């Protein structure tokens, strides 16, 4: 029996080992990936993101409880920022998911974040595939923080839930950072706050102010600590999934997006720190007005 056969048959230790293998790379990863191809495309992949303090982990935990009552199994991928400062806070949040630890229908795995800007680990799309192949009905990806990781999560997930706390102005920052454009569902959590309704109204206005933006993004108010609104959120997600159900085409799409992000990051790093004299000469040509931007970018890409 190989690892992928075992994990497909429900062996959780095999799943954990396969995830470690694709995280590490190397020959065992290649074998796992080769076996994985035909077994993916059944899981609904849902991203949860939003600023720290919005109550994401508590909300995810309440959503998992809801899914478990409906008999669905759930894999969770949690991306820890590498910062030692925030690492602590995140682990604290994670403890709130402890209620699911003894439940064989829930599998939680942390992945290290890549680089200081918090990009997702390069293995993330494969970990999604592995959980998918392991038969989880739903795979949840949780990221913390603002910036790159939100945009990457939307590349992996079919549905991206962006969670805000009322007030705080985080939603204004999110609007500014383009986070709204990746959201398929907006959540105002801590719905028992007196500011919740105003924040929801702000988000509604922001969605409809966007130039040409007639994208309908549902806004759901929840109170994760009491469970209020979590059923509404689950129904909203189910409705979106019924319109665009999971498909075998999802896995290659996830991988392509991740490779595109990694290739770009890789190129940038090489151009910034590389000592290839060709880089300098291309830059000199641009500075001298002798080389146009488009052609310069083409030449620079070839250097990687």
Candidate segments 60-68, 96-104, 166-174, 228-236, binder of a copy of itself by CB under 8 A = 166-174
Q: Does 77 bind a copy of itself (CB under 8 A)?
A: no
Among 37, 226, 276, 281, binds a copy of itself (CB under 8 A): 37
Closer CB to a copy of itself, 70 or 211, in the complex: 211
Residue 193 · residue 55 · CB < 8 Å:
no
In the region spanning residues 222 to 241, those forming contacts with a copy of itself, defined by CB under 8 A, are none
* Residue whose entry in the numeric block shows the structure tokens 């709204």: 180
Q: Does 210 bind a copy of itself (CB under 8 A)?
A: yes
- 160 pairs with which residues across the strands? 47
Candidate segments 72-80, 176-184, 193-201, 227-235, binder of a copy of itself by CB under 8 A = 176-184
Beta carbon of residue 170, minimum distance to a copy of itself (angstroms, whole number): 8
Q: Does 211 bind a copy of itself (CB under 8 A)?
A: yes
Among 245, 248, 256, 295, binds a copy of itself (CB under 8 A): 256
Among 10, 260, 276, 278, binds a copy of itself (CB under 8 A): 260
Q: Does 110 bind a copy of itself (CB under 8 A)?
A: no
Dihedrals φ, ψ of 70, to 5°?
Answer: -85, 5
Closer CB to a copy of itself, 243 or 293, in the complex: 293
Candidate segments 64-72, 93-101, 138-146, 156-164, binder of a copy of itself by CB under 8 A = 138-146
How many binding residues for a copy of itself (CB under 8 A)? Answer: 77
Q: Does 282 bind a copy of itself (CB under 8 A)?
A: yes
Closer CB to a copy of itself, 145 or 229, in the complex: 145
Candidate segments 63-71, 145-153, 185-193, 220-228, binder of a copy of itself by CB under 8 A = 145-153
- Rounded Cα–Cα distance for residues 35 and 5 (Å): 8
Closer CB to a copy of itself, 99 or 210, in the complex: 210
């Amino acid at each position: 029996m190989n690892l992928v056969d075992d994990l497909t048959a429900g062996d959780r230790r095999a799943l954990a080992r396969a995830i470690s293998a694709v995280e590490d790379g190397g020959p065992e990863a290649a074998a796992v990936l080769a076996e994985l191809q035909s077994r993916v495309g059944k899981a609904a992949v849902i991203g949860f993101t939003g600023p720290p303090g919005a109550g994401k982990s508590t909300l995810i935990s309440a959503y998992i409880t809801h899914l478990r009552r409906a008999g669905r199994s759930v894999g969770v991928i949690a991306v820890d920022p590498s910062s030692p400062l925030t690492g602590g806070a995140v682990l604290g949040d994670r403890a709130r998911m402890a209620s699911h630890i003894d439940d064989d229908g829930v599998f939680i795995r942390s992945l290290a974040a890549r680089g200081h800007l918090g990009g997702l680990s390069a293995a993330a799309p494969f970990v999604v595939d592995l959980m998918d192949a392991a038969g989880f009905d739903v795979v949840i990806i949780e990221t913390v923080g603002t910036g790159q990781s939100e945009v990457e999560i939307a590349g992996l997930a079919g549905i991206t839930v962006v969670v805000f706390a009322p007030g705080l102005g985080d939603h204004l920052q999110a609007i500014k950072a383009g986070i709204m454009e990746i959201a398929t569902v907006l959540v105002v959590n801590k719905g028992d706050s007196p500011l919740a309704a105003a924040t929801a109204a702000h988000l509604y206005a922001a969605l409809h102010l966007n130039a040409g933006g007639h994208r309908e993004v549902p806004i759901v108010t929840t109170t994760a600590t009491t469970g209020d609104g979590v059923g509404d959120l689950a129904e909203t997600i189910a409705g979106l999934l019924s319109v665009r159900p999971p498909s075998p085409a999802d896995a290659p799409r996830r991988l392509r997006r991740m490779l595109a992000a990694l290739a770009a990051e890789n190129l940038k790093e090489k151009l910034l720190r590389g000592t290839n004299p060709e880089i300098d000469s291309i830059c000199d040509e641009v500075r001298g007005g002798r080389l146009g931007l488009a052609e310069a970018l083409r030449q620079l890409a070839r250097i990687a």
